[in-house]
Amino acid sequence: MAVERLTIEGVRNLQAGALSPGPVINWLHGENGAGKTSVLEAIHLVGRGRSFRAARPGSVIQHGAEQLRVVVKRQDGVVLGVERSPEGWRGRIGGRDSQRISEFAAALPLVLIEPDSHRLVDGGPDRRRQYLDWQLFHVEPDYLEAWQRYARLLKQRNAALKSGARDAMLDALEAPMLPAAERLDTLRRQQVSLLEITVRRLLETIGIRLPGEVQLAYRRGFPVDETLADALRAQRDSDRERGFTQRGPHRADLALKVDGHPAAVELSRGQQKLLALALLLAQLHHLDQHGSQAPLLLLDDPVSELDRRHLESVLGWLAEQRFQTWVTATEPPDIEARLFHVEQGAVRPQQ
Ligand SMILES: Nc1ncnc2c1ncn2[C@@H]1O[C@H](COP(=O)(O)OP(=O)(O)OP(=O)(O)O)[C@@H](O)[C@H]1O
């Protein structure tokens, strides 16, 4: 749901203050280091409970400040916010305390596209799994529970492996993992098929021409010709040695191919960025169509990332959508947008 008012205090170099964004495209422009990305970071802190560019949450707090505070008032009047002080993290949604990131993510669904997003294509499987998990979290009401159940059982098996548990004990621990894994696999597989259709459609709409047809396939984290029960049993000795479970949906991947060739090998860096963009916009589209409320898009520095033709068609597409977008750039745009000039941490609305 669109943000109606954003209040920021104690975030990096940003001066404390509040912004009233527009419902469609909001464009933050200013010099390098002015604080534009920090505004996106502040919104991300509320929607995901963490920064997208700081491993240590404390580094987002302004030097010399005691605490950080970001409050979002949504268009429907619901207020949610986070506070980070030396004592830790505090969150509030609709007038009550909450420590659950899943509640914030559900209350403020967002998709972030930033200069590092190409890692979705050329990076390790973790990012792609996370991408799929967020998608399912937002569009499939029972996914979080299925995921948490599997994660709990996996943790128990890993603890047992570390303590050198015998086969009888592992038999007992593995039995409930099988239906939990099956549920994750089924939901993920279905979602991947839907995403493939949307990605292909978006590539066409935005005019992204890749050297062949894009294919998305779910790799479930254990060999195709084995059941998970067999895969777990076969790995026990090696798992005991390493102290963790090497097969299962927690090792799944989303394979990205172009005419059957791995996208990370086949595509140029620029084409990988375009494919990552299409994947993330497809996610945005699914969240918008099937999530409980419209998502936000945080688009960091697209002018440096995209050539003119692709930039124009992406912005044209965004202008026709009903979700709110926040864009950062060094220059003002050629399109209609609510403008904010950012200068040495001061964010000022412009006519
Ligand atoms: N904890 C902190 N406290 C105060 N200032 C900080 C802190 N961390 C970073 N900064 C400063 O805040 C600014 C953050 O800039 P930010 O990355 O938001 O700028 P930007 O406008 O997006 O820049 P660019 O166009 O170069 O990407 C930088 O000038 C940086 O030196």
Contact 103, 93 (CB under 8 A): yes
Ligand 1 atom at minimum distance from 64 CA: 3
Q: Which residues are 61's β-sheet partners?
A: 11
pLDDT bracket for residue 76 (50, 70, 90): very high
CA distance 153 to 178: 10
Of the listed ranges 83-87, 91-95, 233-237, 241-245, the least confidently predicted one is 83-87
1-109+293-351: what fold? Answer: Rossmann fold (3.40.50)
For domain 118-291, the CATH architecture is Up-down Bundle (1.20)
d(CA 38, ligand 1 centre) in Å: 6
- What residues contact 116, with CB distance under 8 A and at least 6 apart? none
Q: Where are the domains positioned within the chain?
A: 1-109+293-351, 118-291
Q: Do domains 1-109+293-351 and 118-291 have the same CATH topology?
A: no
- 95 has binding-site annotation: no
Express each pLDDT in 25-58 by its tens digit.
999 999 999 999 999 999 999 999 888 887 777 7
Nearest residue to 285 (alpha-carbon basis) of 202, 204, 207, 200: 202
pLDDT bracket for residue 59 (50, 70, 90): confident
Is 209's C-beta closer than 6 angstroms to any atom of ligand 1?
Answer: no
Predicted pLDDT of residue 88 = 83
Residue nearest to atom 27 of ligand 1 (CA): 32
| ipTM here | 0.98
Give the 3-state secondary structure of 238-298.
HHHHHCCCCCCHHHCEEEEEECCEEHHHHCCHHHHHHHHHHHHHHHHHHHHHHCCCCCEEE
Predicted pLDDT of residue 124 = 96
Is 12's C-beta closer than 6 angstroms to any atom of ligand 1?
Answer: yes
Is 10's C-beta closer than 6 angstroms to any atom of ligand 1?
Answer: no
Contact 92, 17 (CB under 8 A): no
Contact 174, 165 (CB under 8 A): no
Residue nearest to atom 23 of ligand 1 (CA): 33
